[in-house]
Structure 1
Amino acid sequence: MSIRRKAFLVAVGIILMLMLSACGDPQEPAANLVNQLVIGDQQINENLDEIAHYESEDLDLYEWILVKGKEKNSDLESDLDKADVYINKRRNLLNQAQTIMEQNQEQISPIRSSLKKLSFEKEETLTQAQTILELYESRVTAFLELASVYNQCLDDDQQLYDMMRKNVEPNLEKIQQKIRVRNKEFGKLDKLFEQFNQLTDTFNNDNSILIEMEQKK
């Protein structure tokens, strides 16, 4: 299991001034509307950072448990209890991040509708903003799939550790089989994180272009 590096959405450091529509009503620039999603993503970033921390701790503990488990009459209970804590912390953080991402997903349609009502933006600016929303939608889909697989990986970890408890009849063949299943799932997870990170990088780049377009007006 490898530690997965995360690509974060880059928060825009400036809020552009409200513009007036043809009717004299104030309107948010396209960049402001899109960056509502970025602001909502900051807690997700913090959760992913914490998950990476606990994942690093769990990796060291996992390797220690496998080594210690080969010793005759080894007592793994305290280590397994600690592993349970890491699993629960990661699961809670992941589920919190998933909830926030789903809330952000619900904002996409209203933001898209608001973009269509902007009367002062150039067509190329609106096109760029719509492209960014489509990228964010792809990123949401990638994250939700990632979260589903990650939860399955945590289930695999839990099942593996439970098989090593002293109140369970040891079965080396089943443990080795579970390790293979677990490693396969984490390999799939690595690829999903890579896809998610690539989408995030692309979003950040395109969003920077949108900001530049707005500032040149």
Structure 2
Amino acid sequence: MTHPPVLTSTLSVTGSGWPLGTASDGEALLPTILSRCEVIRLRPLSIEAVSDGLQTRWGLPAPDAELLAHLSGGRPGYALKLHHNPELLEQRQIRLDDHRRLISASRVERFAYAENLAKDRTTLRAALQTWLTLWRDVMLRAAGSAAPLTNFDRVDEIEFLSGKVDLIVAQGMVKRLEDAIEQNDRYLNARLLTETLLLNLPQV
């Protein structure tokens, strides 16, 4: 069984050293560890706070800071990771552009794309995660929610899709993408799960 890595450091409290551990998923940690810890849940910052911080502390232009704040979902560390690794943003754009083509592609074209994408599980997972953020945005718009969008720079595309599909369809795509990510992590047949997903992708 594998668990997410835990980063440990030392926090000085009243002259004594206390171990401080962080984990992205506390439920995946062993109960014997959790029972000896005081759990402090850290919530994301507001989009505005992250954007302001990127501008004032890191000198980013306002448009760049706003985009990274939305993409990070209020996580300053991830926003900085995107800033320092522009190739991640380039890969995101490629995946979203691919998705835009796929929604109007034929079945043959979708099968061909699935065959190529399924060759590498890491690449597949990254694509699924990116598409999941897009469909969550579509779901929010279809539901009439005013919550901030993750893909702030794709508003026109999100509005277009939310006008073509209803809330039930958007929710269904979110569920299918979540299931596909889980199946990929469990090393199920990558090509089959990718083909199944793309066949269920709405054609608009």
Q: Same fold (TM over 0.5)?
A: no
| Structure with the largest fraction of strand | 2
Which structure has more RCO (C-alpha within 8 Å, separation ≥ 6)?
1
Query: Larger radius of gyration, structure 1 or 2?
Result: 1
Taking structure 2 as the reference length, the TM-score comes to 0.31
Taking structure 1 as the reference length, the TM-score comes to 0.30
| Structure with the largest fraction of helix | 1
